[in-house]
Amino acid sequence: MRDVAVLGVGATAFTSQTPEVNWKELIYDAAVKAYAEAGIDPRRDVDSFVTCAEDYWEGFSIFDEFTPDQLGGALRPTMTVCGDGLQGLATAYMQIKTGMFNIVVVEAHSKISELLTYEHIVELAFDPIYERPLSAEREVHPYYVAGLEMNLYLHATGTTEEQCALVAVHNRRQALNNPLAPYGARLGLQEIFHSGYAFTPLKKWEIASRADGCIVFVLAAGEIARRLTKKPLVYVEGIGWSSESPWISARSADASYARHAAQMAYRQAGITNPRRQIDVIEVEDRFAFKELQHLEALGFARPGEAGWLAQSGALGLDGELKVNLSGGSLGCGDLIEASGLQRALEIVLQLRGEAGARQVPNARVGVAQSWRGLPHGTGAVAVFARRD
């Protein structure tokens, strides 16, 4: 079966607000960069366009209808995936695999600063009959679910609060090396603890701030990509996704959604020992403990081991596991449905050797993982590699 390569990527910087452009102009900016890098004209060369969006984030119903213009997709096959960017990438990957399409564009964005009632929309994702009344009655912020999950995870694995806080310290610091990231900072453990409990045992500064931004990927069938460019290509070697049952009370302590998604992607990519075979890792960390939980779910550590790795300095550019060098969601911001594509972007830059001050020498295989965020349990995992 034909293989799938990344022909071009483009992204805007990520920022807390983007009042100077509307969402179409934001997407256009990222698309122009991706097409320039890929050396293609979307009006002529692209066979299909995939946008990742959810109506409530946008404030438009049937958002699918708004996607063609800013991608150059008017009067061409377009579609919207109501999910994270990696789920959109999976759709594009499959479209190419069928042989029906040679070049497919994937776009994911966040204009979340324009949603004035974010907490209420998250709350609207709770089961309306049983779960939402409990949240609405006393007007508790819906992120208390992260507190529930973290408490369960710490209890199940023996991971400590300090180990989780270290993730926030690392990722905010790593973001200083990423010119796209808005939330880089040199913080100590003390400051994370001092920020106070938001939802025990979760602290305020262990929660990623939201950000606006857009990322566009151009994927192409391997044989087409190799004809179009002489540059070394990054390939999508495997991609998987899965969803847990949405009942909050039935949630696993080990991010099962991510484990299943990883197994699916690893199987396709021939990954049997992720810790040895994978050089760069981007996992979802909207809440600091999630990085540790996801590292374990993806097979980089045994349950309870990821926290020790964080504490012993094994996570980061100088450690054994090169994790979230982009700064992760804590450093780049919670990009909502674009979060997974931001992770994929970092892996592509790393594998191409274009990651600047945070470059991992000779990185050849990388993994990007997404989690769609609270209150639900949907995750996706993509494995990328260079073959030259």
Say if residues 2 and 223 touch (Cβ distance below 8 Å). yes
| Least Cβ distance, residue 116 to another protein (angstroms) | 4
Taking CB under 8 A as the criterion, which residues in 64-123 touch another protein?
Answer: 68-70, 72, 74, 111, 114-117, 120-121
Residue 13 in the binding site for another protein (CB under 8 A): no
Binding residue (CB under 8 A) for another protein from 13, 76, 94, 132: 132
Binding residue (CB under 8 A) for another protein from 13, 56, 64, 319: 56
How far is 268 from 263, CA to CA, in rounded Å? 9
Sequence-separated (6 or more) residues with CB below 8 Å from residue 335 = 14, 108, 110, 112, 210, 211, 212, 213, 329, 342
| Least Cβ distance, residue 132 to another protein (angstroms) | 7
What tokens does 241 get? 């996704």
Calculate the dihedral angle through the C-alpha atoms of 289, 378, 88, 117, rounding to the nearest 10 degrees: -80
Residue 147 in the binding site for another protein (CB under 8 A): no
Residue 20 in the binding site for another protein (CB under 8 A): yes
Helix (H) or strand (E) holding 6: strand 4-11
Helix (H) or strand (E) holding 262: helix 256-269
The residue count for binding another protein (CB under 8 A) is 33
| Least Cβ distance, residue 182 to another protein (angstroms) | 17
Binding residue (CB under 8 A) for another protein from 22, 190, 272, 312: 22
Residue 63 in the binding site for another protein (CB under 8 A): no
Cβ atoms within 10 Å of 178's Cβ, excluding its own: 25
68 preceded by a cis bond (ω within 30 of 0): no
Nearer to another protein, 69 or 320 (CB): 69
Taking CB under 8 A as the criterion, which residues in 23-52 touch another protein?
Answer: 23-25, 28, 35, 41-43
Cβ atoms within 10 Å of 33's Cβ, excluding its own: 18
Residue 19 in the binding site for another protein (CB under 8 A): yes
Calculate the dihedral angle through the C-alpha atoms of 166, 171, 176, 179, rounding to the nearest 10 degrees: 180
Nearer to another protein, 61 or 273 (CB): 61
Residue 360 in the binding site for another protein (CB under 8 A): no
* Residues in touch with another protein (CB under 8 A): 18-25, 28, 35, 41-43, 56, 59, 68-70, 72, 74, 111, 114-117, 120-121, 124, 128-129, 132-133, 136
